[in-house]
Structure 1
Amino acid sequence: MRRLGSVQQKIPCVFLTEVRNEPSRKRDCQQFQVVATENVHPAALQSDVHCAVATEKIDGTCCYVTTYRGEPCLWARLDRKPTKQADKRFKKYQYSQKTCKGFVWDVDKDFREVPESWIAAHRVQHENGQPVPDEHGHIPGWVPVDQTNKQYCWHASVVNYDAGVALVLKTHEEDEGLLEIVSVPLADLMEQTLELIGTNINGNPYGLGSKKHPVHVLVPHGVLRIRNPPPVEFQQLYSWFQECQEGRVEGIVWHCDDGTLVKIHRHHLGLKWPVGDPFLNTRPVVIHVDETPDPDASEKDLFKSFSSINGKLFSCIRDIPFEP
C-alpha cells in the first residue's frame, strides 16, 4: 500500500468555487462563504481525480514529523501571518482590485515574528532567499513541539520523546472496519503529516475524553480510506453526505496518482459540520499501547492511561473510559 500525500499546503477544492455574500457556515464573523460550483476543477481532471484514492478528511490541527536537533520530532502548524497594518493594506487591495494578484509584500516588515526554530512548509516559493506568501497572505510553516511549551501542551501529550514514540489512531492492518490506537516509533512517521484530534481541538467533534481527562491522538493523513466513495459529481456527492452513514464526515480528500491532493468540505456544499454522530464513532477500536509507563507520570499521562487498557476493544473511540 503506497503512502498517500503529505499535507504541506492548503488543499484546493475538487470543484471550481465562487464567493457568496452571506455569512460563513465555517468561520464565525466571516460575512462571506466560499461554495462549490458544479464544475470539476481542471487541475483535478488533469490529475485524473476519478481514479484517485478517496480518504476521510479529519477535523483537527495539522502536524508534521521531521528531525529537530538530529532526532525525530513532532512539529505543530504555525503559519506566518501579516501584521495588522499589512493585513489592512492587503484587504484594501483585494477589495479595490477584486483580486489578490499583483499585491507586493515586504516579507521583512509585513509579517509577524516567528520562533527561530520555525521552518517554511514544503513547496513554499522563495524569492531572494525569502519565503513568498500564498494567495491568502500566509506563509505556511512548522515549529517543533517542545514538551515544556504550554502553547502546544496537547501536541506534547501524544509524544514521548524519551521513548521516541507517538500515539496514533489508524485502521487495523487485518480488518479495515476496525480502528486501533497504537504507540508508533516517531522514526516510522518521518516526513509524514498527521491530524491531531481530541478533547481540546476544534471543539472536539468526535467526543474524545473529557475536561477532567483530556484525550488526544494523531491520525496520519490518508489512513482512513473511504470504502465506497461516491463519484466526483456534485449532486452525487451532496446526496452521499446527506444520506449515507459513511458520509457523516467533515469531507473527502482525494489522493491522485501524480501526488496532487484535492478536497471537498461539507461547507462547500452548504452542509452542516459537525454532525451529531460522525462516521468515525461508528467503528470499534482496539488499544495496542504497551509502553512501560513512567512511575512518576501523572495519572493523566496518556501513555500511562492507554497502557492500562492495552488489548481491550471498545465500541468506538468516544467510549474509551478513562475516569478513575
Structure 2
Amino acid sequence: MRRLSSVQQKVPCLFLTEVKAEQSRKRLCQPFQVIATEHVNPLALACGVESALATEKLDGTCCYVTRYEGQPYLWARLDRKPTKLADKRFKKYQLSHNGCKGVDSHGLVEEDFRAVPEAWIPAHGVRHQEGQPVPDDHAHIPGWVPVQTDNKQYCWHSSTVDYGAGVALVLRPRGQSPDLLELTLVPLGDLLEQTLELIGTNVNGNPYGMGTKKEPLHALVSHGSVRVRGPPPALDLQGLSSWFQESSEGRVEGIVWHCDDGTLVKIHRHHLGLAWPEGNCSFSSRPVEVHMDWTADQDYRLPSKDLFASLSRLDGRRFSRLQDVCFDT
C-alpha cells in the first residue's frame, strides 16, 4: 500500500501561477490574487502527477502528531511570520516583482520575525543556515507547537484528544465503502508522524456544517485518507474548472495529489477564480457512523472529554450526512 506523505511545507500548485493586483478571494486582507495559468507545473510532471493518488483537500487547520515530553502529542501549525511592518514590506516587494520568489534578496532578518513559544519546532524540510531555520519563499518558517490542554488558543484542537487515555477523535473512511465515514477513537501512537486536518464547528467558518454553537463538534482527518470520489478529473485547466463547477464530486475545496516519490501537488478552487464554499459540500453529504468502542490495554480509562462522552452515547448510530450528526437524544 502506498504510504501517504505528510504536509510539512507549502504544497505547490499543479499549474504555474501568476499574481494579479486584485483582492484575494481566499484572504480578505490580501490585495493580490494568485491565479493558475494554463501551464502545468514542470515539478508536477517530473513527479508523475498523472499517476498520482487524487485526494480531497479539506478546509480546516493543519495538525501534526509527534512526541512531546516522551509521549505522542497533537501539535498545531504555527508558522513563524514577519512582523506587520516587515510583512507589508515583503508583500509590496512581491507584488512589484509579479510574485517573484526569493526572501533573501529582500533582506528580512531575525528581528523582522515574530517570537514563538519555547516549545515551537520547525517543520520537516525547513532549510537551516548557521543552525537557524531559514524562511521560505512566502517569508514564513513553517512549524509546530504542542497542543496543551490549558491553552485556550487551541481549545478546539484539544477537544479532539485525551492525553491520559492516549487517544484522538478521528473522522475517516470506514472499511471498503467508498463514501461511508466513521467517527472513532484512534490511539495517538498509531498516528505518529502523520499530519491531519482539524475540521469542525469553529474552524474556518465550518464549511461542512458540523455541530452547533451549543454542541460544537470537531474531528481530525488524516491527510490523504479521503479519496476524490469518482474518476479523477483531467489534468488541464479547463477540465478541472468544469469538474469543480459541474460535477457533484467537484464540490470540494481542492485536490491534493500524492505522487509515488512523496511529492504533494495541489489545486485550490481559488486558483481557478472559483468561490468556496460552494453550496452543499461533497464531504458533508457523506453518511457517517459513530464508533466509540475503542479497546485498549488494562491501563485504559474512559476518556473524560465532554465531546467524547457525548459521542459515546451515539455509539453505533448512523447518520445520513456528516452535517446531520447531533447530540440530541
> Which amino acid in the other structure matches residue 235 of structure 2?
V
**Greater CA deviation, 84-93 or 260-269?**
84-93
Question: Partners in 2 of 1:76 and 1:290 — Cα distance?
Answer: 27
Distance 1:95 1:15, change over 3 A: closer
Question: Partners in 2 of 1:83 and 1:278 — Cα distance?
Answer: 36
Q: Deviations over 1:88-130 (max 9, x none)?
A: 44345435555342122322x2211111100000000000000
What SS class does the counterpart of residue 43 from structure 1 fall into? helix
Question: Partners in 1 of 2:77 and 2:52 — Cα distance?
Answer: 26
Distance 1:209 1:231, change over 3 A: same
Unaligned 5+ segments in structure 2 are: 295-300
Which residues in structure 2 correspond to 1:288-303 (within 5 Å)?
288-290=291-293, 293=302, 297=304, 301-303=306-308
> Which amino acid in the other structure matches residue 248 of structure 1?
R
Distance 1:96 1:242, change over 3 A: closer
Unaligned 5+ segments in structure 1 are: none
Q: Deviation of residue 186 (structure 1)?
A: 0.2
Q: Deviations over 1:63-111 (max 9, x none)?
A: 000000000000000001112333344345435555342122322x221
Q: Deviations over 1:280-321 (max 9, x none)?
A: 122111111125645xx57xx111011111111110111011
Q: Is the 8 A contact 1:193 1:221 kept in 2?
A: yes
Distance 1:70 1:231, change over 3 A: same
What SS class does the counterpart of residue 106 from structure 2 fall into? coil
Question: Does 2:294 match 1:253?
Answer: no
> Which amino acid in the other structure matches residue 68 of structure 1?
Y
**Greater CA deviation, 93-102 or 109-118?**
93-102
Distance 1:94 1:36, change over 3 A: closer
Equivalence for 2:283: 280
Question: Does 2:324 match 1:319?
Answer: yes
Question: Partners in 2 of 1:80 and 1:264 — Cα distance?
Answer: 24
**Greater CA deviation, 116-125 or 222-231?**
222-231
Runs of 4+ in structure 1 off by over 3 angstroms are: 91-100, 291-294
Equivalence for 2:52: 52
Equivalence for 2:298: none
Question: Partners in 2 of 1:172 and 1:286 — Cα distance?
Answer: 8
Question: Does 2:139 match 1:137?
Answer: yes
Distance 1:267 1:92, change over 3 A: closer
Which residues in structure 2 correspond to 1:91-102 (within 5 Å)?
91-94=91-94, 99-101=100-102, 102=105
What SS class does the counterpart of residue 244 from structure 2 fall into? helix
Distance 1:178 1:96, change over 3 A: closer
Give the alignment's Cα RMSD to 1 decimal: 1.5
Question: Does 2:249 match 1:239?
Answer: no
> Which amino acid in the other structure matches residue 292 of structure 2?
V
Question: Partners in 2 of 1:136 and 1:258 — Cα distance?
Answer: 24
Equivalence for 1:147: 149
Question: Partners in 2 of 1:257 and 1:51 — Cα distance?
Answer: 8
Distance 1:94 1:39, change over 3 A: closer
Q: Is the 8 A contact 1:145 1:155 kept in 2?
A: yes
What SS class does the counterpart of residue 260 from structure 2 fall into? coil
> Which amino acid in the other structure matches residue 209 of structure 2?
G
Identity %: 63
Question: Does 2:85 match 1:85?
Answer: yes
Task: Give me the TM-score of the superposition, normalised by structure 1.
Answer: 0.95
**Greater CA deviation, 190-199 or 219-228?**
219-228
Question: Partners in 2 of 1:208 and 1:110 — Cα distance?
Answer: 38
Question: Partners in 2 of 1:304 and 1:247 — Cα distance?
Answer: 35
Question: Partners in 2 of 1:97 and 1:316 — Cα distance?
Answer: 46
Task: Give me the TM-score of the superposition, normalised by structure 2.
Answer: 0.93
Question: Partners in 1 of 2:277 and 2:91 — Cα distance?
Answer: 30
